[in-house]
Structure 1
Amino acid sequence: MLKRRRRALTVAAATLLTAGFIAPAQGASAAPAWHKGNPPLSTPWTAEVGPNNALPEYPRPQMTRDAWRNLNGVWQFAKADVDQAPPVGQDLGERVLVPYPIESALSGIQRHEDRMWYRRTFTVPAAWRLAAGNRLLLHFGAVDYDAKVWVNGTQVATHRGGYDGFDVDVTDALRGNGPQELIVWAEDLTDATGQPIGKQRRTSDHGIFYQGSSGIWRTVWMEPVPAAHIASLSMTPDVEAGTLKVTVHTVDSGDLKAKLVARAANGANVGHVTGAANTELTLPIRNPKLWSPDHPYLYDLEVSLKDKGTTVDTVGSYFGLREIGIKKGADGKNRIALNGQILFNMATLDQGFWPDGLNTAPTDAGLRFDLEQHKAMGFNAVRKHIKVEPDRWYYWADKLGLMVWQDMPASNTGPIPPAWRDQFESELHEMVREHQNWTSIVAWVPFNEGWGEWDRDATGRIADEVKAQDPTRLVNAHSGVNCCNSHGDSGAGDVIDFHQYTGPASPAPDDTRVAIDGEHGGFGLKVPNHMWFGDGQAYEMEPDSATLTKKYVQNQQAVITSANSCGISAAIYTQITDVEGELNGFFTYDRQVAKMDMTKVRNVNRRIIREATGDGSSVPQPPAGTPGLTGVAYYPLDGSTTDEAGDHDATLVGDPAYVDAHTGQGVALNGSNQYVDTGAPLVNTASDYTAAAWVKLDKADGAFQTVVSQDGASNSDFFLQYSGADQRFAMSFAGVRALAPVKPEAGRWYHLVGVRDSVKGELRLYVDGQLAGKVSACMPQAAPTGHTVIGRGKFGGNAVDYLDGTVDQVHLYDRALSPSEITELYQSGN
């Protein structure tokens, strides 16, 4: 058994010897026959699919040979029992169209089986001259999930992994020149195990998980190769040097030489090199042209293998010259750079599911369609979300010019069981190895929202190992590190990635990593007669296309603010199409209806790419503010609510009492309806500000308690608070908290200071004069609209989070106090 994967392109080879080859199974009669099922929704390509044109295109566009044959088409099919012997020489009772997964309508089966048999025959063309020393390879693009293969009753392969391909040399199992029997067994238990499954489930939940795809779901094909032949290519561009590093990996060793010739788009020879196979060669490119989304320039590559001067094997390939990395912007923040220039990655979330073929696009035109629409809508990138596509998908991304963020398919949402963790890591590294040559792929994403994650340190280790395997691309250790089942930021990789619906998310880069919005948006629209379940949902539903478009444009304009204020380098909108019960696509699930005004979509997307550059001009510098430690408002609360710094005397609401407090008297509040209203907005939330107070909690449990806040339109503009969810003090915006490290004690006095620093884009919390927590909060705030209040907050339009305790010595400042000033204020007791 030979297990490997492949790379490399010649367009001419993609049309050879594909149609009309599918031979009937041995002993098959006219019945039963294959019949296409009826999908709940049909795509524009559903009707085109039939026995003679099931994905006939050359399946391996980065390593092509002229001699090949496609084995897609009608095969025999049957449910398999546990431990059942292979049905050698036996007709099976059903017919399936390969390579469509058995749950799909296009397969003709349209149901799930845990275990299954496939059977057909094939013949080897005499022109392939296997008797002269050539070998016959069978290639399986993907079989979900465990597979075994027999040729003429001899088992020739086993394979585990639903998203990677495998090859097998079947030469020694062949019998004569006539029909050869091919049997494939597959087992797919989907979410009943710890296997990587992405969004697949045995039963769709009508929500964010979808119908599974079992069995053969990518092209099956065969080709003859010489005994000494090219097994794969490893290609790494060096933009600065204008060269391509290439290793020609071979089967069979010895004194093998490789000759490489690069050709420009016009066919001109622009570089060549000859050297030993299985060693890295440097291919110089004359007057190199770089690949980018706006100019996706690709070179053809001819690779010849020579044994003692005689050419024994030749393959075609292609490559692009591009470099992905990190560069500091004018604002000093780390940003993503393509070919040394900062370039914002504007992407969609692309799940890669189809109502007629499920995991498998109905046709190559359909596969290409989704990527073409990305370009038409002004996107320059795409996140392939917890799925791995057939090679032709990446080929089209290369050709069209889209940067790809490639996810590893997740296991279930809980921690991967210990017995499956090595398998997950093995499949992750195989995914990277198989896809190392695609120009379009710029980042690897091992984990999504903590799904499958079992340990934060393990996540960091895995990210480091992927980076060591491929140091030429970004590694996003954990997309949505702020979300869901996440174990928290490991600090590893090149990317800090937050998810926020409807968002956009606004993480800030650190000293070594860029920051991105890994998922946002999710605005939805129902389109009658184009919904998988006849209904569905989104993160926010809109009544019509015009409203949906307006919401999208407004949301994307906020991406520019997040980019220029916070420093995000990418934003990923959910999503390119509806998927089953999710109705938040630009297109319906059947790709029949565009839901938005695509001109407006394109205009705002292109504007983001132009303007989200981090040139530093969009972050206003705050005024110096009022000097001194008294502030713009000061409430000693010594028997009155007089403002000792300004003219905004406050009002007691709910009849709270004055009591002995930290310094003189303070106000005791009951935690239900009492607070202090200053009657005005005392701080300009569009600039820097600070709030300070002494507080003693009567209880410290799971309830939120607000010490000082300022009412906004719906939520408080800020909360200096006790966070019941965390049981710690915090300086907060809605959903963002700078937290103290430990739980406070009830009945003890604490000095709290909350600082909003708009230049650094931070919230900082100080407890008893010392920095206790900080968090990125870089999005600019609106101007104030409501009163500053002591002892309660506002959330969702309602008064909430009343203080159960005593408050004293409240200060408000129109600037960000320095650490030394905060220490001095604490030590003063005021």
Structure 2
Amino acid sequence: MKTHVRGRWLLAAVSASALLSFSAAPASSAPDPHPVHLAAPLTSQVKAAGGWQAGIPPLATPWTDKVGPDNALPEYPRPQLTRDKWQNLNGVWEFAKAGLGEAVPAGKTLGERVLVPYPIESALSGIQRHEDRMWYRRTFTVPAGWKVGTGNRLRLNFGAVDYDAKVYVNGVPVATHRGGYDGFDADVTDALTASGPQELIVWAEDLTDATGQPIGKQRRVSDRGIFYQGSSGIWRTVWMEPVPAASITSLTLTPKVAAGVLTIKVNTTGGTGLSVRAVARGGGSVTGAADTLLTLPMPRAKLWSPDHPNLYDLSVSLVDRGRTVDSVGSYFGMRSVGTAAGADGKLRITLNGKILFNQANLDQGFWPDGLNTAPTDAALRFDLEQDKAMGFNAVRKHIKVEPDRWYYWADKLGLLVWQDMPAANTGPIPAQWRPQFESELHEMVDEHRSWTSIIAWVPFNEGWGEWSREDTGRIAGEVKAQDPSRLVNAHSGVNCCNSHGDSGAGDVLDFHQYLGPATPSPSGTRVAIDGEHGGFGLRTANHMWFGDGQAYEMEPSSSVLTAKYVANQEAVLTSAKYCGISAAIYTQITDVEGELNGFWTYDRQVAKMDLRQVRAINRKIIASADGSGANVPQPPAGTPGLDGVAFWPLDGSYGSLTPVGGPGFTDGHTGQGVALDGSQYLDAGKPVLNTASDYSAAAWVKLDKVDGAFQTIVSQDGPSNSDFFLQYSGADQKFAMSFAGVRALAGFKPAVGQWYHLVGVRDTVKGELRLYVDGRPAGAVSACLPQAAPTGNTVIGRGKYGGNPVDYLDGVTDQVHLYDRVLTDSEIQQLYSSGN
């Protein structure tokens, strides 16, 4: 038995039932993609062939009726490793449910018919139900011109089978494979009979979310929310090709722009001791040993970018003593990915050495007719074309790995791709499944490392499957070592959901925030991005999978939806300028099942926004969010000294404060203080602090209780929420300096009846909130967005949230200071030591 998992790739259209011998068109001479013009909604027609008939999906796409037995994804599936002879095995196969331990049904006709390569749950498959285990069967004939067995070998290729697969030819086991998102192949020569039809049988098992296997968003039963109908069995193209005994299996291509070269490794089977020659059209050439790293000169190369997706054709030959024994076609782009500080000093993503904001769309890759499998190549291309038309320059491929032609179109159209690893279940991956997850992650990187468009790897999403922060960091480091040429985003949405917290590893700090956008700030070593935001939704009658659905916020009309998007993206631009985010990823390109937050309906029939306005704001962000210029205004120097702009000693007098609810004086930290019983507070009658600039607030406090309730010592009312809270956070049971939803936390739980000195600092230049306890730094958090001018009164002893007074203090406060500037560490230590 053989298990082989290596790269998949190509172009060129053929009929599934025909055998063609052709030379694949080079990348530069392939016709440029053109937008697909959508027709009116279609009703799926039932097609029958040899007992197969299509199911009727709940929604039909413009391509549903273009799929049939003779044109089931007929394109050559491997654009970066082309050969001139191949035969597509897509089409109608026999099908049957398989039982546990059931014998291989060699020589037996199976009772049902399935259209390969559409997953069995899909309408296009003709089965339209889930089976845990299944058999596929068909016959094929090896063309006589291939001369298999007299110098050539027959290689059988599977784009992907979800999840466990066993392959038999003429009853002989030829391959086993585990993994639903990567390809595998087998040399089946020795299992062939001398002539005539050959029997091919595939067994597949897919238990989906009943195991710890990587599944992405798939579930056996859709939850009508963020998880969807699963896809089982064969879901990418199956094909065969004759190859020499010594042959090329894959190419590893890495552009080195600064050096003006492409490094290339020609991976072979049986090629030990042979040489290879690689020639780039419009570039250089190189000759060297097979299976070693070679350097191909690319002087004055035209670089690849979203605006100029230049690609070079590559031809590669395997040579034995001057005789070419194998040759393949390929292509590549010259581009570099990195980071650099912008004019504002914040670290940002670069492409080809220049800062480029990644304005991205979330793409989950689901289809109402084909589920995991796009109905046609034109459909596969459509979503990417719309991304370009809407002014995006990047795509996040969300916890799914696509067929190779998807990445080909991303290369060709010019889109930066953030590639996720498909997650397992949302809880920690069981220990016995963790090596499998890591193996599939590294296989994904290995198979896709030559695609020009991919610029980042994302091992984890929102903590789904994560079992420890330390292992997340280790895995990110191992991916970076495997592919140093790209960014590694260890954990998208590290602030969210099931996350174990920031490991500090990788090149990227990634927050999710709905509706958002998120506002993380970069460090000296990691860029910051908004990994998911948005999610505004709209119901579109007759274009919804379940007849209804939801989003993070539903809107009443297309015009309101468009306005919400534009306003949300203006906030993205603000986050880029003030916080320094390098990318923002909006959810999402299309509706998916019960999620109604797409630019397009799930059937790709209706655009839900005014796409001209979408394009305009997207292009504005890309042009403006590069960190150029002094984006953050420098605050005024502020009032010197430690008294500040307001000082209330609270020694038997309220001063300018108005007591509300009858508070009283008691023993304070220094002299007297004010006792508050959880319903009382002091009101300054005006906003003392200019919250649009820097400020600090200081107070002594002694708590009478420390439980799950919030208690605010000093705040200032805003329109709906307090502009800031110097508080005890009941959710964390720690002191905090906070904005609504953002808290700089101390590292300990305070004691009842003990005095503490608290200072909260708002630093607009660093974009931070900082907390000091008893004169020492206690916590800091990014809070980089500008605040509005003050609108409400400064108060002591309560906060405001959701328009209501909340978080009353149950304890004693004393010696309250307010400052119109950032206090230094030494000043805070001095204030604490003074006791005032």
Which range, TM-score by smaller chain?
Answer: over 0.9
> How far did 1:16 drift?
4.7
Residues of 2 paired with 1:128 and 1:453: CA distance? 48
Q: Percent identity?
A: 76
Counting only pairs closer than 5 Å after superposition, residues 661-676 of structure 1 correspond to structure 2 as 661-671=668-678, 673-676=679-682
What letter corresponds to residue 737 of structure 1 in structure 2?
A: R
Residues of 2 paired with 1:326 and 1:177: CA distance? 58
Residues of 2 paired with 1:262 and 1:177: CA distance? 40
Residues of 2 paired with 1:58 and 1:683: CA distance? 66
What letter corresponds to residue 104 of structure 1 in structure 2?
A: S
> How far did 1:396 drift?
0.2
The corresponding residue for 1:150 is 168
Q: Residue 760 of structure 2: which of 754, 762, 772 is its match?
A: 754
The corresponding residue for 2:662 is 655
Q: Is the 8 A contact 1:102 1:112 kept in 2?
A: yes
2:524 is the alignment partner of 1:511: yes
The corresponding residue for 1:267 is none
The corresponding residue for 2:448 is 435
2:704 is the alignment partner of 1:720: no
Q: Residue 624 of structure 1: which of 637, 652, 657 is its match?
A: 637
Residues of 1 paired with 2:563 and 2:469: CA distance? 40
More divergent stretch after superposition (421-430 vs 819-828): 819-828
Alpha-carbon spacing, 1:8–1:359, altered in 2? closer, same or farther (3 Å): closer
Q: Is the 8 A contact 1:21 1:71 kept in 2?
A: no
The corresponding residue for 1:683 is 689
What letter corresponds to residue 745 of structure 2 in structure 1?
A: L
> How far did 1:19 drift?
4.6
Residues of 1 paired with 2:747 and 2:5: CA distance? 50
The corresponding residue for 1:765 is 771
The corresponding residue for 1:15 is 13
Q: Is the 8 A contact 2:8 2:77 kept in 1?
A: no
Residues of 2 paired with 1:297 and 1:394: CA distance? 15
Residues of 2 paired with 1:563 and 1:87: CA distance? 60
Residues of 1 paired with 2:116 and 2:371: CA distance? 13
What letter corresponds to residue 315 of structure 1 in structure 2?
A: V
Residues of 2 paired with 1:302 and 1:8: CA distance? 14
2:487 is the alignment partner of 1:474: yes
SS at match of 1:626: coil
RMSD: 1.2
SS at match of 1:421: helix
Q: Is the 8 A contact 1:690 1:816 kept in 2?
A: yes
Residues of 2 paired with 1:667 and 1:489: CA distance? 40
Q: Is the 8 A contact 2:710 2:731 kept in 1?
A: yes
The corresponding residue for 2:417 is 404
Q: Residue 713 of structure 2: which of 701, 707, 713 is its match?
A: 707
The corresponding residue for 1:816 is 822
2:731 is the alignment partner of 1:730: no
Residues of 2 paired with 1:814 and 1:131: CA distance? 85
More divergent stretch after superposition (272-281 vs 685-694): 272-281
> How far did 1:2 drift?
5.0
Q: Is the 8 A contact 1:8 1:317 kept in 2?
A: no
The corresponding residue for 1:25 is none
SS at match of 1:90: coil
Q: Is the 8 A contact 1:74 1:97 kept in 2?
A: yes
> How far did 1:618 drift?
1.5
Q: Is the 8 A contact 2:458 2:488 kept in 1?
A: yes
Residues of 2 paired with 1:637 and 1:818: CA distance? 25
Residues of 2 paired with 1:487 and 1:220: CA distance? 40
Q: Is the 8 A contact 1:2 1:169 kept in 2?
A: no
What letter corresponds to residue 804 of structure 2 in structure 1?
A: N
SS at match of 2:748: coil
SS at match of 2:600: coil
What letter corresponds to residue 805 of structure 1 in structure 2?
A: G
Q: Is the 8 A contact 1:135 1:224 kept in 2?
A: yes
Counting only pairs closer than 5 Å after superposition, residues 142-291 of structure 1 correspond to structure 2 as 142-264=160-282, 270-291=283-304
Extract unaligned runs of 5+ from structure 2: 21-47
What letter corresponds to residue 353 of structure 1 in structure 2?
A: F
What letter corresponds to residue 3 of structure 1 in structure 2?
A: H
Residues of 1 paired with 2:149 and 2:220: CA distance? 46
Q: Is the 8 A contact 2:49 2:69 kept in 1?
A: no
SS at match of 1:68: strand
Q: Is the 8 A contact 1:255 1:308 kept in 2?
A: no
Alpha-carbon spacing, 1:154–1:419, altered in 2? closer, same or farther (3 Å): same
Residues of 2 paired with 1:530 and 1:639: CA distance? 69
Counting only pairs closer than 5 Å after superposition, residues 518-529 of structure 1 correspond to structure 2 as 518-529=531-542
SS at match of 1:130: coil
Alpha-carbon spacing, 1:327–1:557, altered in 2? closer, same or farther (3 Å): same
> How far did 1:667 drift?
1.3
> How far did 1:511 drift?
1.4
SS at match of 2:480: helix
2:609 is the alignment partner of 1:596: yes
> How far did 1:286 drift?
3.8
What letter corresponds to residue 627 of structure 1 in structure 2?
A: P
> Which digits, 9 at most, give the CA deviation of each residue in 1:602-623, with x for residues without a partner?
0000000010011242200000
> How far did 1:255 drift?
2.9
Q: Is the 8 A contact 1:271 1:285 kept in 2?
A: yes
2:478 is the alignment partner of 1:465: yes
> How far did 1:17 drift?
6.1
The corresponding residue for 2:33 is none
> Which digits, 9 at most, give the CA deviation of each residue in 1:704-763, with x for residues without a partner?
100011111111110000000100000001111100000000100100000000000000
> Which digits, 9 at most, give the CA deviation of each residue in 1:567-601, with x for residues without a partner?
10000000010001111000001000001010100
The corresponding residue for 2:371 is 358
SS at match of 1:399: helix
> How far did 1:4 drift?
3.0
> Which digits, 9 at most, give the CA deviation of each residue in 1:273-299, with x for residues without a partner?
111111111111243100000000000
Q: Is the 8 A contact 2:8 2:159 kept in 1?
A: no
Residues of 2 paired with 1:126 and 1:702: CA distance? 78
What letter corresponds to residue 657 of structure 1 in structure 2?
A: G
Q: Residue 333 of structure 1: which of 336, 342, 346 is its match?
A: 346
SS at match of 2:279: strand
The corresponding residue for 2:148 is 130
Residues of 1 paired with 2:555 and 2:728: CA distance? 36
Q: Is the 8 A contact 1:136 1:225 kept in 2?
A: yes
> Which digits, 9 at most, give the CA deviation of each residue in 1:60-115, with x for residues without a partner?
00000010010001000010000101111111111000000000000000000000
> How far did 1:378 drift?
0.4
Extract unaligned runs of 5+ from structure 1: 23-29, 265-269, 643-648
Q: Residue 374 of structure 1: which of 374, 383, 387 is its match?
A: 387
Q: Is the 8 A contact 2:149 2:189 kept in 1?
A: no
Residues of 1 paired with 2:792 and 2:141: CA distance? 80
What letter corresponds to residue 547 of structure 1 in structure 2?
A: V
The corresponding residue for 1:3 is 4
Alpha-carbon spacing, 1:706–1:478, altered in 2? closer, same or farther (3 Å): same
Residues of 2 paired with 1:4 and 1:450: CA distance? 27
> How far did 1:20 drift?
4.4
Normalised by the length of structure 1, the TM-score is 0.96
Residues of 2 paired with 1:168 and 1:82: CA distance? 25
> How far did 1:440 drift?
0.2
Q: Is the 8 A contact 1:204 1:211 kept in 2?
A: yes
Q: Is the 8 A contact 1:19 1:56 kept in 2?
A: no
2:58 is the alignment partner of 1:58: no
Residues of 1 paired with 2:50 and 2:810: CA distance? 76
What letter corresponds to residue 4 of structure 2 in structure 1?
A: K
What letter corresponds to residue 612 of structure 1 in structure 2?
A: A
SS at match of 2:712: strand
The corresponding residue for 2:652 is 639
The corresponding residue for 1:80 is 98
Q: Is the 8 A contact 2:251 2:267 kept in 1?
A: yes
Alpha-carbon spacing, 1:766–1:31, altered in 2? closer, same or farther (3 Å): closer
Q: Is the 8 A contact 2:15 2:70 kept in 1?
A: no
The list of structure 1 runs, each at least 4 consecutive aligned residues, that deviate by more than 2 angstroms after superposition, is: 6-9, 15-22
